[in-house]
Structure 1
Amino acid sequence: MVPKFYQHALAMAFAIHEINKNPKILPNLTLGFHICDSYYNAKLTYRTTLELLFKGQRFVPNYDCDGRKNLQAVIGGLGSDTAFLMADILRLYKIPQFASGSLDADEMHSLHPHFYHIVPSEDRQYMGIIQLLQHFRWIWVGMLVADSDSAERFVQTTEPLFSQNGICLAFVQRIPRQPNFDDLGETIATVSHKIYAPLTNQKITACIIYGESLTIAWIRAIIFLHDPENTGYQTYRKVWITTTQMDFILTGAEMFWGLQVFEGAIAFMIHTKDLIEFGEFVQPIKPGWNERDGFLKDFWEQAFDCFFGETVPDNEKCTGEEKLASLPEPLFDMHLTGHSYSIYNAIHALAHTLHAIYSSRLRHKIMVEDPDVVLQHIQPWQLHPFLQKLSFNNSEGETVSFNEKREIGGGFDIMNVVIFPNNSFHQVKIGRVVPGAVEGEEIVIDWDRIVWHRGFNEVPPISVCNEYCHPGFQKKSKEGEKFCCYDCALCPAGRIANLTDMDDCFECPEDEYPNENKTGCLPKLVIFLSYEEPLGWGLALVALSFSLITVWVLGILMKHKDTPIVKANNRDLTYTLLISLLFCFLSSLLFLGRPGKLSCLLQQPAFGIIFSVAVSCVLAKTITVVVAFMATKPGSNMKKWLGRRTSNCIVLSCSLGQAGICSVWLGTSPPFPAFDMQSLTEEIIQLCNGGSVTMFYLVLSYLGFLSLVCFTLAFLARKLPDTFNEAKFITFSMLVFCSVWVSFVPTYLSTKGKHMVAVEIFSILASSAGLLICIFAPKIYIILLRPELNTKEQLRRWKKE
């Protein structure tokens, strides 16, 4: 027998003892119990279950040969496979079956409608295991499972859940079920050959064990074959994660091996309470304490490694004075384990149910007899309505009741295996699985209390297929391998990875940009063409300089307004052109500084209208030259078009056309201040959004149309025989003007940031300067340096020539 399992029998005896001495539950009635063993064998499980139902003096299935025997309920088995086998028979007779081990509640609920889970369903621990793995980032884990149907269901259920949560199973190894480990024969050697290699894989630090308590003994035996001196701390260092069906036990030869290899294991356990009365109950137990206890002798011999009998040597003989409290925990635990606590609750649940039935019959006066007689006539199926409504508090104050799936609520305890220097063993509660918790918070653990295996070089340890990808890198899958095995690739341009082991790099917010290592984001600098920087104040200085030059030219022309060279080409148009050029130079200042609502509204319309006035004046001058020449021909009636009215109409009509376009622009989609976060990687451009790109290019197109007309007329009239003919100067000025704005479009589109504004300012200044210099430089030259040419006599001499 397994010494530690003897506690289950004692837990049942203790619960019966409590009930029998309690006058409030089934008074005048003494309860008893009968224990059967399945021996981990399906055939024997079926046979034992049938014997429990029908065996009296002789075994006749489906016949009750012992009228004194009335089976009301069965508790068991601890393992899910044993429970399923028992349920195959018990459900035919509607006999309540209490599962004291954690099983799949949904499956049992559908297969056996009279099955009651005295512990929560095992599926509640699945997300707890996943959260545990995720917390420590253990994504490359192994799994050792018993070779059973329940273990197969566990693998099929958890493997897709692991994949969904970024966890891979490095291996899944089945361990056969073997009840006796005293003989380390061929079977263990065969299993050892398959399992030993995964156990020594240093990359697989976390390993999940699913099975029954003897699965632990299997693993310990395999390790012992390769490390009989128990020295392989570095080789076998693992974080063992065990499920609720298991307990850490030693049996047979393994008693002398110890459990050091499981140091630091994290175990999901059935919830339990430390019943002080239980310790007091088992403390005085000695051989012969109860003649009907058929397990005690075998337990005592195995637990204390001694023997009873007359022929036994004195040094090997059991004295009977040995103390249970002196046994190490893997052999016997003085505190109730989770499985024993569930047996304890199952006994009380059954007793309260029988008491409720007896009390109900007394209230309805159906029969008033001795309780023993009453309960002898109760059929097992009559217990179910009372069990489904059952709710009571046990001696520790915990509520015991069943939900709609006939399952007790609650969670699981999470324990940490601590090995002391003297190789003694203890399990410390470090957390619990919380029932009904929100997703992602299914477990509560005091992480700092975990004691790790002493063989780890760093704690907490890592369990990954390969090294983590550092910040700045992202995972790159390896062909033909599981997704947990990957390479690390540098984040592409414009993306970062600020955490370790990221699946994908991501972009920074719009107002930030990646740092050099692509591990974080830096705030972008807001830029605009300001007066403080060299480019800004340089352009402003040029604009002011040309504005002063324009004013100076205007002053000179006004001072010499009565000279022939000034009067020859329409003084009013000349003054208007100079004033418009002055505003052209000054309009460039609207583009400097931080863009505001007003400056954005004025920039493009002011530029478009002022330049239209300037070009219209030049066009009017050109038309004036042409009309003046045509008026000199005999019989021409063109003299009537030489007045100021014609010039004013040309300037006004052409300017109003551009003003109309700008008015539509401002009325439909006006420019506004905006931030361009995409054009530059490390900077945010504060600019004026044109609102409508179409209207902007329409303004340029209209200006270009006027310029082209003016250039064409001036080019055709450049050799007309007229005094002070400005056509050749206008031709050259318009050639400069058009060249500037034709080159502006591709340059503007290929430039980013504040340099776009600089390009437009430069174009404004260059085209305005071209008009000013090409048209007025010759006049200023004659007025200031060659005044002798600015006379009527000179004009007459030129005409004669």
Structure 2
Amino acid sequence: MIFAIREINKDRTLLPNIKLGYQIYDTCATHTQSLRSALASTSRQSGRSEETSSQGCEGFSSFPVIVGDSGSTQSMIIQRTLGPFKIPMVSYFASCACLSHRNKFPAFFRTMPSDAHQAQGVARLVQRFGWTWVGSIAGDDDYGHNGIQAFSDEVRKLGVCIAFTEVLPKMHSRRKILQITETIKASTARVIVMFAIEGDAYPLIREVVKQNITGRQWIASEAWVTSALIATKENFLSLSGTIGFAIHRAEIPGLRSFLLQVHPFKTPNNLFVKELWETIFKCSLGTSENIKGINTSAITHRRCTGLEDLNNTYSIYSDVSELRVSYNVYKAVYTIAHALHSLNSCKNGTGSLPNNTCANIFNFKPWQLLHYLKGVRYTNKFGEEVYFDENGDPIASYDIINWHKNADGSIKYVKIGRFDAALGLGHNLLVNEGNIVWHNNQMMVPQSVCTDRCPPGTRKAVPQGQPLCCTDCLPCPDGEISNFSDSLNCVPCALEEWSNPQRNECIPKEIEFLSFEEAMGITLTTVSLLGTASTVSVAGVLWYYRKTPIVRANNSELSFLLLLSLMLCFLCSLTFIGQPSVSSCMLRHTLFGVSFVLCISCVLAKTLVVLMAFKATLPNNNMMKWFGTLQQILSVLLCTVVQVAICVVWLLVSSPFPVKQTKYYNEKIIFECDLGSVTAFCCVLGYIGFLSCMSFVLAFLARKLPDNFNEAKFITFSMLIFCAVWLTFIPAYISSPGKYTVAVEIFAILASSFGLLICIFAPKCYIILFKPERNTKKHLMNKTGQGKSSQQS
């Protein structure tokens, strides 16, 4: 401040021929001392003055403007006291957003941005790196409480949860510090945001370092991010990689040489210069023991000679590489000077006060300077435009810095980005992630979440009583997916799609039908072809031995027609295998119905032939002449025509058609043939059942009739097997889903066909091939005679 005032006093363009005076008070960072100093300055009572340069100031009974205070709470107290008197106050470090309320603090200005912007910037930084679970620590003052509250409000809007909030004690309390330290260690939050001044933060940092707590990413507010008290070699292990918002820095030419000119003998009344001297050179000037708060442990009994040279000693005092708060003080002094310059340049009607008058710079009221402070706007020597908005705040802009380690172990502040509120939401945060070194010297962004992110294939669910960020990851149900992380809901797949095993993608459902390529299809096809080949073989044997008595005795025409129908029955089973189509669906059921009716009609005709032949042996019975070979074949065809008619009506009214069925399984589609008309299908089966029952009854009645080679008993067995198979088929058909329905139907066709083939034709083939001596007319006649003798007895 003194340096800036001296610069202004030497300036020939800013306030020419006018010298500024000042009086500096130590507020000791306490509320009471701040108020006492403010009242003393306005009443010209020196109180505790560290330096005064107001000699020759004309006409003032009080100071017209105050630079300070550094603390938000102290500034509020001063403004509430002096605000009604419209005494302007320009703070260089009070950042609480509450001070922007113009109706409460009408005379307050500051060169320090409001914490509302810093809180927003920190919240955006937390969002930028994907941290959803953070701890927060606040100093026990307006700066800490308002800053952390504004931050909490901002991050909650962004879906971030606060793991814990602790308040640092204003008066040192080791019990409270230990309790906060235990909270940090117990929490799963790996990112900690702290809004506190360095004096409040230091005891906690010291305890964190003492307990060697590492692995936390600290986010610092501007009040301590560049604190030389905290940013030390000893603290780096626990605080490595700290990121924080810092106010802009500047390299002020000539300041370092000015600072090095101080000497206790030049300013004997400046107690701070004495304390500085004794601390740096570890000697005693003889009066410092009476100074309250002096670090006497650093002072020896060696007397200071006054020949010590600050140029030969490095200290924080002479380090001007990180002038941030000092730069704000510099701007505050220059802002007041520009306001005074405008006041002094006033001419009636141009730049005048509200009452169209001009103030006398040697005798003006505080409210008159307040008027010009509101309108001040200038560009300083560093190229920065300085002005206040309607709330007395500057445009919010911060440097984002990261703690790196120098070769000598000291901490280096590296700028990794900036936050500029003037750029608007979404563009105000600029970060160069490649330059960031995280805690423990990591290069990867640390994670800080209450629970890990829910991967694709799951959805987030918040357990009752837990924060929104603490979620369980529940797998999506079958048929539903989530294809991005942290999904709140699972999305159902389309009707013809199903979720993959990972539940992160909908894939086409497996289409199931009985194919020729699968084991079951190959087996049934083989059995069907085997049955067809067997039927052809039997037909070949009978054709080869067609003139033998056993073939001729059993109506060879019907036998060959029956074998033809059996061959059709075996082959029709092949139409049930393969991908359903319109033609295959129509063919499989109609061919099945017609071939089986043809087969059963032949069996029925053969049974009637046995009965007719027995009746024909009775006296005066010539029925057999009305049931000759032609009539037998015509009866078979007539029965078959009825089934053909039923099938034609079925195809015309509501024919079977292919359909993709999803009601049996969720994860796959059954490609099958819909019956179309269930009634027609029942008629087809019913007609087959009717003929089968007739054949069974008639064969059962004729099973013991004497004959050359009575087929009735073999037909009885065959029809018994046929009926048993198809009665078992009905419940199995209804209860078997998908391709197994088709397999059951094919099995019933093949089983009943083999039953007929084996029961009716196996005995004949056995005699023809293995017992040729029984295939003679004599043998058959002997059997007949034995049968007649048995009947007579």
> One fold, TM greater than 0.5?
yes
Amino acid of the residue matched to residue 214 of structure 1? Answer: G
Percent identity over the alignment is 16
In structure 2, the CA distance between the partners of 1:784 and 1:220, relative to structure 1 (3 Å rule), is closer
Asked if 1:274 is matched to 2:250, the reply is yes
Residue deviations 1:651-672, cap 9 Å, x none? 2123235435763x54xxx425
Mapping for residues 554-573 of structure 1, pairs under 5 Å: 565=554, 569=558
Residue deviations 1:144-199, cap 9 Å, x none? 5332244334455555777885655457253224xxxxxxxxx5556566556567
In structure 2, the CA distance between the partners of 1:587 and 1:113, relative to structure 1 (3 Å rule), is farther
Partner of 2:194, secondary structure, is strand
Q: Is the 8 A contact 2:555 2:606 kept in 1?
A: no
Partner of 1:590, secondary structure, is coil
Partner of 1:769, secondary structure, is helix
User: 1:714 & 1:583 partners in 2: Cα distance?
Assistant: 23
Match of 2:240 among 243, 251, 264: 264
Residue deviations 1:350-390, cap 9 Å, x none? 55556567778577486898983697697255347625xx5
Amino acid of the residue matched to residue 744 of structure 2? Answer: S
Match of 1:590 among 578, 584, 601: 578
Residue deviations 1:629-674, cap 9 Å, x none? 89999999x99997467424312123235435763x54xxx42599
In structure 2, the CA distance between the partners of 1:375 and 1:475, relative to structure 1 (3 Å rule), is same
Amino acid of the residue matched to residue 170 of structure 2? Answer: P
User: 2:455 & 2:188 partners in 1: Cα distance?
Assistant: 18
Comparing 737-746 with 490-499, which one deviates more in the overlay? 490-499
Look up the match of 2:414.
Answer: 428
Look up the match of 2:68.
Answer: 76
Q: Is the 8 A contact 1:497 1:504 kept in 2?
A: no
In structure 2, the CA distance between the partners of 1:702 and 1:293, relative to structure 1 (3 Å rule), is farther
Mapping for residues 390-469 of structure 1, pairs under 5 Å: 390=377, 392-401=378-387, 407-418=393-404, 424-433=410-419, 435=421, 442=429, 444-446=431-433, 449-450=436-437, 452=439
User: 1:733 & 1:256 partners in 2: Cα distance?
Assistant: 99
Residue deviations 1:554-577, cap 9 Å, x none? 7778886996745675976x4773
User: What is the Cα-based RMSD across aligned positions, in Å?
Assistant: 6.2
Asked if 1:242 is matched to 2:220, the reply is yes
Partner of 1:273, secondary structure, is coil
Q: Is the 8 A contact 1:358 1:375 kept in 2?
A: no
Residue deviations 1:496-546, cap 9 Å, x none? 9999x99999999956425xxx9x999999797766665554444334333
Q: Is the 8 A contact 2:139 2:195 kept in 1?
A: yes
Look up the match of 1:176.
Answer: 170
Residue deviations 1:202-250, cap 9 Å, x none? 9887554332121244346768xxxxxx9x5746786544322235657
Look up the match of 1:752.
Answer: none
Aligned residues: 726
Match of 2:138 among 145, 149, 154: 145
In structure 2, the CA distance between the partners of 1:325 and 1:204, relative to structure 1 (3 Å rule), is farther
Comparing 261-270 with 372-381, which one deviates more in the overlay? 372-381
Q: Is the 8 A contact 1:77 1:83 kept in 2?
A: yes
Asked if 1:100 is matched to 2:76, the reply is no
Amino acid of the residue matched to residue 431 of structure 2? Answer: V
Partner of 1:650, secondary structure, is helix
User: 2:673 & 2:750 partners in 1: Cα distance?
Assistant: 29
User: 2:60 & 2:241 partners in 1: Cα distance?
Assistant: 49
Mapping for residues 496-535 of structure 1, pairs under 5 Å: 510=498, 512-514=500-502, 534-535=519-520
Asked if 1:776 is matched to 2:752, the reply is no
Asked if 1:341 is matched to 2:330, the reply is no
Partner of 2:399, secondary structure, is strand
Mapping for residues 476-491 of structure 1, pairs under 5 Å: none
User: 2:480 & 2:281 partners in 1: Cα distance?
Assistant: 64
Partner of 1:414, secondary structure, is strand
Partner of 1:372, secondary structure, is coil
Look up the match of 2:111.
Answer: 118
In structure 2, the CA distance between the partners of 1:56 and 1:448, relative to structure 1 (3 Å rule), is closer
Q: Is the 8 A contact 2:242 2:402 kept in 1?
A: yes
Match of 1:739 among 724, 728, 742: 728
In structure 2, the CA distance between the partners of 1:247 and 1:727, relative to structure 1 (3 Å rule), is closer
Q: Is the 8 A contact 2:216 2:439 kept in 1?
A: no
User: 1:30 & 1:565 partners in 2: Cα distance?
Assistant: 145
Match of 2:276 among 300, 316, 320: 300
Residue deviations 1:29-58, cap 9 Å, x none? 555555444333333333433444x42479
User: 1:118 & 1:790 partners in 2: Cα distance?
Assistant: 131
Report the CA distance between 1:334 and its aligned residue. 0.8
User: 2:730 & 2:711 partners in 1: Cα distance?
Assistant: 28
In structure 2, the CA distance between the partners of 1:124 and 1:58, relative to structure 1 (3 Å rule), is closer
User: 1:602 & 1:31 partners in 2: Cα distance?
Assistant: 108
In structure 2, the CA distance between the partners of 1:34 and 1:56, relative to structure 1 (3 Å rule), is closer
Look up the match of 2:588.
Answer: 607
In structure 2, the CA distance between the partners of 1:463 and 1:324, relative to structure 1 (3 Å rule), is farther
Please, what TM-score do these two structures have when normalized by structure 1? 0.68
Comparing 580-589 with 189-198, which one deviates more in the overlay? 189-198
Look up the match of 2:50.
Answer: none
Amino acid of the residue matched to residue 43 of structure 1? Answer: T
Partner of 2:261, secondary structure, is coil
Amino acid of the residue matched to residue 649 of structure 1? Answer: V
Please, what TM-score do these two structures have when normalized by structure 2? 0.69
Partner of 2:115, secondary structure, is coil
- Structure 1 unaligned residues grouped into runs of 5+: 1-8, 60-64, 178-186, 224-229, 592-598, 680-684, 750-755
In structure 2, the CA distance between the partners of 1:92 and 1:731, relative to structure 1 (3 Å rule), is farther
Residue deviations 1:402-449, cap 9 Å, x none? 566654444433334456676655433344446467679956254664
Look up the match of 2:671.
Answer: 689
Comparing 256-265 with 444-453, which one deviates more in the overlay? 256-265
In structure 2, the CA distance between the partners of 1:716 and 1:449, relative to structure 1 (3 Å rule), is same
In structure 2, the CA distance between the partners of 1:159 and 1:557, relative to structure 1 (3 Å rule), is farther
Look up the match of 1:4.
Answer: none
User: 1:24 & 1:727 partners in 2: Cα distance?
Assistant: 132
Q: Is the 8 A contact 1:434 1:444 kept in 2?
A: no
User: 1:356 & 1:70 partners in 2: Cα distance?
Assistant: 21
Q: Is the 8 A contact 2:346 2:358 kept in 1?
A: no
Q: Is the 8 A contact 1:491 1:505 kept in 2?
A: no
Amino acid of the residue matched to residue 398 of structure 2? Answer: F
In structure 2, the CA distance between the partners of 1:719 and 1:84, relative to structure 1 (3 Å rule), is same
Amino acid of the residue matched to residue 121 of structure 1? Answer: S
Q: Is the 8 A contact 2:692 2:719 kept in 1?
A: yes
- Structure 2 unaligned residues grouped into runs of 5+: 48-56, 289-299, 769-773
Q: Is the 8 A contact 1:565 1:790 kept in 2?
A: no
Look up the match of 1:319.
Answer: 306
In structure 2, the CA distance between the partners of 1:171 and 1:462, relative to structure 1 (3 Å rule), is same
Q: Is the 8 A contact 1:262 1:417 kept in 2?
A: no
Report the CA distance between 1:775 and its aligned residue. 2.6
User: 1:199 & 1:402 partners in 2: Cα distance?
Assistant: 40
Report the CA distance between 1:317 and its aligned residue. 1.3
Mapping for residues 6-45 of structure 1, pairs under 5 Å: 9=1, 13-14=3-4, 16=5, 25=14, 29-45=18-34
